[in-house]
Structures are given as C-alpha cells and as structure tokens.
Amino acid sequence: MPAVINVVAAELVGELKLRVRFDDGTEQTIEFKPFLTASLHPDIRAWSSPERFSRFRVEHGELLWGDYELCFPVMDLYRNRIDHNPALEAAA
C-alpha cells in the first residue's frame, strides 16, 4: 500500500451510499446512513438528507461536503470503516 492514499472519484450509488475510487485503483462502496443517522450532533445529522448528501465533491484527494463541514479520514474510507463514536462526539 502506498504511503499516501487519495480519493480520485466518487459517485452516488444509493440514497446515502457512495462508490469511492482511490489512486491505487481500490474501490469501496460506502454506506454513510448508519453514521449520519446515529450522530447526536444536529450539524452532522443534517447531512443525512439525500439532497444535501448528494452535494459531495472530491478535492485535493479528499471527499468533502460543504466547507469541510463533513469529511472523513481517507484511510477510514479506504478501509470502509466509517465508525460512530458518541463519546468522541460529546467531547467536541
């Protein structure tokens, strides 16, 4: 695995699901619904609206929504491990 992995493309393949392609050729289909709907933070849960969620973009090797309002570590996307940790969210 390369030292740095970048997102090169993403496409909507379901209501809150994206197929994400990385610069090493790996692809992951990632279901964001469990993460977004389990969040206690209203600013994060707001992205569970299908219309709002669909406004993602790939920029500088990252998958982003808004002005970095919602983003995930690239390695979490690469491993398809979008975990929700309420303890970390409460500390924010």
Residue 79 in tokens: 């491993």
Average pLDDT over residues 24-37: 96
As a whole number of angstroms, the distance between CA 27 and CA 77 comes to 10
DSSP state string for the chain: --SS--EEEEEEEETTEEEEEETTS-EEEEE-HHHHHH-S-HHHHGGGSHHHHTTEEEETTEEEETTTTEE--HHHHHTT-----HHHHHH-
35 has a pLDDT exceeding 90: yes
CATH 3.30.1360.70 fits 7-84, yes or no: no
Domain assignments of the chain as residue spans, ordered by start: 7-84
**Cβ atoms 17, 33 nearer than 8 A:** yes
83 pLDDT tier (thresholds 50, 70, 90): confident
Residue 1: per-residue pLDDT: 61
Q: What pTM, to 2 d.p., does this model score?
A: 0.85
